[in-house]
Structure 1
Amino acid sequence: MSKKTAPKSDPLDLAGIDDLLSPEEKAVRQAVRQVCDASVEPYIAEWYESGELPAVRELAEELGSLGLLGMHLEGYGCAGTSAVEYGLACLELEATDSGLRSLVSVQGSLAMYAIHRFGSEEQKREWLPRMATGEAIGCFGLTEPDHGSDPGGMRTRARRAGDDWVLDGRKMWITNGSVASVAVVWARAEEGVRGFVVPTDTPGFSAPPITHKGSLRASVTSELLLDGVRLPADAVLPEVTGLRGPLSCLNEARYGILWGALGAARSCFRTALSYAKERDQFGKPLAGFQLTQAKLADMAVELTNGTLLALHLGRRKDTVGLRPEQVSLGKLNNVNKALAIARTSRTILGANGISLEFPVMRHMANLESVLTYEGTAEMHTLMIGQALTGESALR
């Protein structure tokens, strides 16, 4: 029996996870990497430092032309890719910047997904094709100034006025808000929480930008103000009532995040590994010291474990589906480990680690937001705890 010679290992993939991907999955990943390298990487540090995402509409159209917006949805101009392909795309987007992945994630997994799953046929035909191309940008209004982890306490109200609906309230920390053409807004109505498709040029709707951010600086973040926003009867999402609607959308977004965080982690690890090989101290490269090698080995192990978990969850989503606690397991683990990798990478770079000449500090600051949004680490811990024990610690 002849012995097989294993191919040379890749320092960024010691376990050979790439061998588990299909040619189609690798092609999607490569296409996303190419557009990121050409259109975002040369400028992202400057955008982050200035706190701007210029030409966001043009960027959305470029991403749409590649089929990345709502790529995991079927029909209405959407690409209909697999969950694994969508996950790999999120990983590559966030390897460039969390703000870029947030743009795509909010567009596809929140705004478009809500319309695709719960909207009327008319709503789907009106909005999804334009959102898939990036012609129309969407946002998702759930979080409020006083209600983040507890959306059941929302104060935004929807009341009937004849055949119309009237919305009043305020949403906070809304990605894409001030550049959106359409907002999916969740409000409390007499019969329960309802979702509404709100064109952003409707009188009474405004989206002032949120500035002075220390994280996700290359991302559009806004408030949503709804002051007597009058909508026709058919603006409501007809297929859902209650918190099941927005929470199912959040699960879609969380799935993309558990992949995306690995991209930020990979970028930090790659930078630290390269720096350790090139930086000389005490007469030899940093990579030659045991403590540095221990840091690099630990990061490689955690990056491998997180990638295997993401791939497993993606394969499961493509076959039998995912439970909410399984998505929580992935987001909690992968974001926590990505943050740890970013922080450890920063220590290898020393003082250079805080410079925007390198991506590490930018990723670390971004991941602090990723840790919190679409469910804080505490909330995902309690969701896992409830799945384990059958007891809710929230009520």
Structure 2
Amino acid sequence: MPGLQRYIPPHYTQEHHVFRAMVQRFVADEIEPFASEWDEAETFPRDLYTKAGELGLLGIGFPEGYGGTEVDLFYSLIVAEELAAVCAGGISASLMSHTIGSPPIKNVGNEEQKKRYLPSILSGDKISALAITEPDGGSDVANLKTTAVRYEDHYVVNGTKTFITSGMRADVYTVAVRTGDVGMNGISLLLIDRDTAGFERTPLNKMGWWASDTATLYFDNCRVPAANLLGTENQGFQAIMLNFNSERLWMAAGCIAASRACYNEVLDYAQQRIVFGKPLSQKQVVRHKLVQMAQRINAATAYLDQVALMVHSGQQPVADICMLKNQATECMEYCAREGVQTMGGAGYLRGSKSERLYREVRVNAIGGGAEEIMRDLASRQLGI
């Protein structure tokens, strides 16, 4: 059997299909053969960024004038899906950390900032990271405590950020800081370079996403040029919220694609594994598990395509994006759990897609907005 294939909606063009095939070749040649090795090493080669940049993967959705490729949303989802099919989320999270670190530069940065940073980021020569979460608060962005006090032509930044993807190796950080009063109206975004005096980083050890470079950041009287302010002072909250919508859609696409890859691995195992003289797949309980996995994957895929079309048409369906992210992470959790259970000891050994995915379930259910926060935000949007 060919396994469970992704349903391709009719609005995908031949150009989308050609692009998907190109990304699949890149993943098959440059990532999949090394996924387990890099996961165990808790890192991957720096030149993977430049390879992805040369292929144009890092520039998807960014203006051509800065080295990007201005295409529709579906190209970004294709990248998310094909990278996620390896079931090594730490690699794709760090490789594509610019998709959360650089949109504020594109969306609210001035021309000088765009020219200074975007070309080198989109080529893979520099790495971009986003720093919002703090030790005392994650989803409660409006109450962040890292401060930036203006003195003539510079800001003095003090505070701590944590759980930052590409936190150790990034070259430039888009950092949320408090420049005004309490609440969402006192937040700004600053671009802070890695060699800024007083800026230190320490790596973090994680349950999953081992190959992802994750760190805590410390700012101790860091002098940051006022020219590095992104957009208008005290108006950074809106740019952050816009960023979250894109991040959650990207994460949902990745979770669903990883679930599909898990299903196909488990299906192949169940058809080849002989138990009491018959393939494991002939056991009714196993067949039912596979059907339930496929059902959840297909339902989540349909919701993804619906929400993506809404965003593509110019809508911002916040409630649907929140509910989609939860549906995708819940689908991933079910597939990873049942996949490892079905494969038994083979699923528990390091090296399989299902095992890696099992370790990564929780970070997807927390990152980009925890499932509980998503439900609460959706309920407010729905007027409940």
Q: Which residue of 2 aligns with 1:227?
A: 220
Letter in 2 for 1:160: R
Q: TM-score, normalised by structure 1?
A: 0.91
Q: Which residue of 1 aligns with 2:118?
A: 128
Q: Which residue of 2 aligns with 1:393?
A: none
Q: How many residues are matched? A: 377
Matched, 1:65 2:65: no
Of the structure 1 ranges 273-282 and 73-82, higher mean CA displacement relative to structure 2 is found in 73-82
Query: For residues 103 and 87 of structure 1, do their structure 2 counterparts lie closer, same or farther at Cα, with a shift above 3 Å needed?
Result: same
Structure 1, unaligned runs of 5 or more: 1-8, 391-395
Q: How does 1:198-209 map to 2 (within 5 A)?
A: 198-209=192-203
Alpha-carbon distance in 1 for matches of 2:256, 2:38: 22
Q: Which residue of 1 aligns with 2:43?
A: 53
Q: Kindly state the Cα deviation for residue 221 of structure 1 after the two structures are TM-superposed.
A: 0.5
Matched residue SS, 2:33: coil
Indicate conservation of the 8 Å contact 1:173/1:221, yes or no.
Answer: yes
Of the structure 1 ranges 174-183 and 245-254, higher mean CA displacement relative to structure 2 is found in 245-254
Structure 2, unaligned runs of 5 or more: none
Instruction: Give identity over the alignment, percent.
Output: 27
Q: Which residue of 2 aligns with 1:309?
A: 303
Letter in 2 for 1:45: S
Q: Which residue of 2 aligns with 1:318?
A: 312
Indicate conservation of the 8 Å contact 2:319/2:382, yes or no.
Answer: no
Matched, 1:181 2:171: yes
Indicate conservation of the 8 Å contact 2:164/2:215, yes or no.
Answer: yes
Q: Which residue of 1 aligns with 2:20?
A: 29
Q: How does 1:1-395 map to 2 (within 5 A)?
A: 11-13=3-5, 16-17=7-8, 21-50=12-41, 52-55=42-45, 57-75=46-64, 76-96=66-86, 97-108=88-99, 110-190=100-180, 192-211=186-205, 213-239=206-232, 241-390=235-384
Indicate conservation of the 8 Å contact 2:340/2:347, yes or no.
Answer: yes
Indicate conservation of the 8 Å contact 1:268/1:341, yes or no.
Answer: yes
Alpha-carbon distance in 2 for matches of 1:19, 1:355: 40
Alpha-carbon distance in 2 for matches of 1:155, 1:189: 10
Indicate conservation of the 8 Å contact 1:105/1:256, yes or no.
Answer: no
Matched residue SS, 1:203: coil
Matched residue SS, 1:155: coil
CA displacement, residues 306-348 of structure 1 (integer Å, 9 cap, x when unaligned): 1121122222222233322221121111111111111111111
Alpha-carbon distance in 1 for matches of 2:95, 2:374: 23
Query: For residues 43 and 286 of structure 1, do their structure 2 counterparts lie closer, same or farther at Cα, with a shift above 3 Å needed?
Result: same
Indicate conservation of the 8 Å contact 1:71/1:78, yes or no.
Answer: yes
Indicate conservation of the 8 Å contact 2:188/2:232, yes or no.
Answer: no
Q: TM-score, normalised by structure 2?
A: 0.94
Aligned-residue Cα RMSD (Å) equals: 1.7
CA displacement, residues 213-255 of structure 1 (integer Å, 9 cap, x when unaligned): 2211011001111111111221111246142221221211111
Matched residue SS, 1:375: coil
Matched residue SS, 1:223: strand
Letter in 1 for 2:79: A
Q: Kindly state the Cα deviation for residue 46 of structure 1 after the two structures are TM-superposed.
A: 1.9
Alpha-carbon distance in 2 for matches of 1:218, 1:232: 33
Indicate conservation of the 8 Å contact 1:65/1:133, yes or no.
Answer: yes
Indicate conservation of the 8 Å contact 2:146/2:157, yes or no.
Answer: yes
Indicate conservation of the 8 Å contact 2:101/2:173, yes or no.
Answer: yes
Q: Kindly state the Cα deviation for residue 47 of structure 1 after the two structures are TM-superposed.
A: 1.9
Alpha-carbon distance in 2 for matches of 1:237, 1:168: 18
Q: Kindly state the Cα deviation for residue 388 of structure 1 after the two structures are TM-superposed.
A: 2.1
